[in-house]
């Protein structure tokens, strides 16, 4: 593996990655000697950035092997996530790693506003003793409104509670139990603005939160209220806040983030009741080390194990969730590839009018986060149908399907299917036909000396016929008339060509088609030798309706 670290990070961050044997780690101060960033990315698997490097379409074009971009921080404005997704690159960030730093600055700014500390300091340095005008107010007993109760918002609440403040908050995604544990009363956005003495913002930027502090909401606030923003500058309508401050309706504001950074021209300049800091909330030495170590660990876990954490363009899983779902994701990819090849006869042909992919989850699988399994199944279908798996992976597979007008439909069936506790059925819909296959994962007992056995992907049914077979290696699929002697003839032909049969599975439909002889279905796992002569000879047997080769 090769990891390029494009910006300065702590020695501890480098140590996480350099502990991996045979990994090449290129630090930011080594890039110039290596020919620059673009040249260094030509054979890189991972890229770690902070906020300065622009990971745009042009840079990604120089990185054909790149699999993951890690942002040591929260915002990903400097990363073209759409371009990364199209190229199958995971984009990760580190939300919450700097929560303590941001919470501490928030409390510090609140106290500075309440006690007018900056003005006290400035007048003293100017040789003036203005004790009478610098009384300020206490925060004890005041109402702190917290917009956003994620990691940072909750850390702010815990610290504010120690000051004896009354806590209210709004967050549609927080559990009431979490709010109760932190002694926060959940209220509407309207009540939050109306009753807060201090309002602190800790939400991300969305279409709903952009400009949430505006002329209308400011007009509902208590005269003398104060606002702190250490989240995103775009949350505030600057003209409206500046006007409210100038009119004296809002007593003060402390702003660490701005719509345009660095801040070069602002209506806030010269306002002595406005505290401005240059986006330093998460810039403590401890926080920077924490986000660096966290992103290094996330990149390492993804490249080594495939665990996706804190991704902004694909679903994220905990390590425990990944361990549970990884075998089913691997099975889904194989099942999708198998079915696509079976449906069209050969992986070299283009997909014959594929219109939709339907995924049905059974048992425990239906109750889990199925995005990883879904993406893997679509990857398998498209890789098997399009015949170039390098261009399709579990990151970009849904996007490629959408580009081709292929509809995805998911169904959850919590009940088990047969003896399988969890199973997946994939159905491919074309203009004239639907074909399906069901698979599961078997967990065997480990052999002596093994910590645990490798789970195996198994086919349970194909095209409506129950048939169990391994989903690996080279598989011959045949439809043959259900008459005596056919199975023996198939085995003879395979043996005469020096091919070994590793597994032979046979399934029979319940009824015949249109009153004619039943067509049985066989899936044969074979090993060794060229298979094209076998396919030609088997195709010539009168009782065999069709024969295909599937490679997994």
DSSP per position, 360-427: EEEEGGGGS--HHHHHHHHHHHHHHHHS-GGG--TTTHHHHHHHTT-EEEEEEE-S-BTTBSEEEEEE
What's the average model confidence in pLDDT over 359-374? 92
What's the average model confidence in pLDDT over 489-504? 91
Q: What is the pLDDT of residue 267?
A: 94
Which of the residue ranges 92-106, 188-202, 284-298 has the most confident prediction, judged by mean pLDDT?
A: 188-202
Q: Does residue 104 or residue 50 have the better pLDDT?
A: 104
Mean residue pLDDT of the chain comes to 89
Q: What is the pLDDT of residue 432?
A: 73
Is the pLDDT confidence value at 350 over 50?
no
3-state secondary structure of 174: coil
Distance (Å, whole) CA 390 – CA 244: 57
Distance (Å, whole) CA 90 – CA 70: 8
> Is the pTM of the predicted complex or chain greater than 0.85?
no
Q: What is the pLDDT of residue 389?
A: 46
CA distance from start to end of the chain: 25
Q: Which residues of 245-261 are buried (b: 16+ CB within 10 A; e: fewer)?
A: beeeebbbbbbbbbbee
Q: What is the pLDDT of residue 7?
A: 94
Percentages of the chain per state (helix, strand, coil), in multiples of 5: 35, 25, 40
Which of the residue ranges 213-222, 277-286, 336-345 has the most confident prediction, judged by mean pLDDT?
A: 213-222
Return the DSSP state at 353: S
3-state secondary structure of 548: strand
Whether the CB-CB separation of 360 and 425 falls below 8 Å is answered with yes
Query: For this structure, is 232 an active site residue?
Result: yes
What's the average model confidence in pLDDT over 58-71? 96
3-state secondary structure of 289: helix
Per residue in 435-471, pLDDT (tens digit) is 999 999 987 655 555 555 578 999 999 998 999 999 9
> Of 151, 161, 279, 518, which residue is the catalytic one?
279
Least reliable range by pLDDT among 180-184, 212-216, 463-467: 463-467
Per residue in 226-280, pLDDT (tens digit) is 999 999 999 999 999 999 999 999 999 999 999 998 999 999 999 989 999 999 9
Per residue in 283-338, pLDDT (tens digit) is 898 998 999 999 999 999 999 988 888 888 887 888 888 888 989 999 999 999 99
Q: What is the pLDDT of residue 387?
A: 52
> Of 30, 57, 181, 261, which residue is the catalytic one?
261
% of the chain beyond a pLDDT of 70: 94
% of the chain beyond a pLDDT of 90: 63
Q: Does residue 514 or residue 149 have the better pLDDT?
A: 149
Whether the CB-CB separation of 362 and 420 falls below 8 Å is answered with yes
Whether the CB-CB separation of 116 and 110 falls below 8 Å is answered with no
Distance (Å, whole) CA 300 – CA 1: 10
Q: What is the pLDDT of residue 76?
A: 83
What's the average model confidence in pLDDT over 107-115? 97
Q: What is the pLDDT of residue 223?
A: 96
Query: For this structure, is 140 an active site residue?
Result: no
Q: Does residue 406 or residue 245 have the better pLDDT?
A: 245
Position 514 confidence tier, pLDDT thresholds 50, 70, 90: low
Q: Which residue has the tokens 């969305």?
A: 206
**CA 35, 36, 42, 47 torsion: positive or negative?**
positive
- For 436-473, give the secondary structure using H, E and C: EEEEEEECCCCCCCCCCCCCEEEEEEECCEEEEEECCC
Is the pLDDT confidence value at 348 over 50?
no
Q: What is the pLDDT of residue 30?
A: 95
Query: For this structure, is 261 an active site residue?
Result: yes
Nearest to 202 by CA among 191, 213, 218: 213
What's the average model confidence in pLDDT over 21-29? 95
Q: Where are the beta strands (DSSP E) in 471-532?
A: 474-481, 500-507, 519-527
């Amino acid at each position: 593996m090769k990891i390029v670290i494009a910006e300065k990070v702590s020695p501890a961050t480098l140590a996480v990655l350099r502990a991996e044997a045979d990994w090449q780690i290129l630090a930011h101060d080594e890039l110039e000697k290596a020919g620059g960033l673009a040249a260094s990315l030509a054979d890189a698997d991972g890229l770690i950035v902070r906020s300065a490097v622009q990971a745009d379409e042009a840079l990604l074009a120089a990185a054909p092997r790149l699999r993951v971009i890690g942002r040591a921080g929260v915002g990903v404005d400097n990363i073209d996530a759409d371009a990364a997704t199209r190229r199958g690159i995971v984009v990760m960030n580190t939300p919450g790693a700097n929560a303590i730093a941001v919470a501490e600055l928030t409390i510090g700014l609140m106290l500075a506003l309440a006690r007018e500390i900056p003005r006290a300091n400035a007048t003293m340095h100017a040789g003036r003793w203005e004790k009478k005008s610098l009384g300020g107010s206490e925060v004890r007993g005041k109402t702190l409104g917290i917009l956003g109760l994620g990691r940072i918002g909750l850390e702010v609440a815990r610290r504010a509670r120690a000051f004896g403040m009354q806590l209210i908050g709004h967050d549609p995604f927080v559990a009431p139990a979490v709010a109760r544990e932190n002694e926060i009363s959940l209220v509407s956005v309207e009540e939050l603005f109306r009753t807060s003495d201090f309002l602190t913002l800790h939400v991300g930027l969305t279409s709903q939160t952009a400009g949430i502090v505006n002329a209308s909401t400011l007009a509902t606030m208590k005269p003398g209220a104060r606002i702190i923003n250490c989240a995103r500058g775009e949350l505030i309508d600057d003209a409206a806040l500046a006007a409210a401050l100038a009119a004296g309706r809002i007593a003060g504001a402390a702003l660490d983030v701005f719509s345009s950074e660095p801040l070069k021209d602002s209506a806030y300049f010269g306002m002595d009741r406005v505290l401005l800091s240059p986006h330093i909330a998460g810039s403590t030495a401890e926080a920077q080390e924490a986000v660096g170590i966290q992103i290094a660990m996330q990149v390492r876990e993804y490249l080594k194990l495939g665990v996706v954490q804190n991704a902004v363009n694909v679903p994220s899983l905990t390590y425990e969730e990944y361990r549970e779902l990884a075998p089913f994701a691997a099975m889904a990819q194989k099942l999708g590839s198998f079915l696509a090849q079976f449906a069209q006869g050969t992986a070299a042909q283009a997909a014959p009018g594929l219109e939709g992919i339907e995924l049905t989850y059974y048992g425990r699988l239906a109750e889990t986060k199925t995005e990883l399994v879904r993406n893997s199944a679509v990857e398998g279908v498209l890789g098997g149908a399009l015949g170039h798996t390098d261009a399709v992976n579990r990151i970009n597979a849904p996007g490629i399907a959408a580009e081709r007008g292929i509809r995805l439909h998911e169904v959850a069936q919590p009940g088990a299917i047969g003896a399988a506790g969890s199973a997946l059925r994939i159905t491919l819909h074309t203009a004239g036909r639907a074909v399906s296959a069901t698979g599961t994962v078997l967990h065997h007992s480990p052999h002596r000396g093994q910590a645990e056995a490798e789970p195996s992907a198994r086919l349970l049914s194909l095209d409506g016929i129950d048939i169990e077979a391994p989903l690996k290696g080279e598989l011959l699929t045949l439809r043959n008339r259900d008459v005596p002697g056919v199975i023996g003839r198939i085995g003879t032909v395979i043996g005469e060509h020096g091919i070994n049969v590793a597994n032979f599975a046979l399934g029979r439909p319940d009824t015949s088609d249109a009153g004619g002889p039943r067509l049985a279905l066989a899936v044969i796992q074979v090993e060794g030798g060229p298979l094209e002569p076998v396919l030609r000879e088997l195709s010539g047997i009168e009782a065999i309706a069709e024969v295909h080769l599937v490679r997994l």
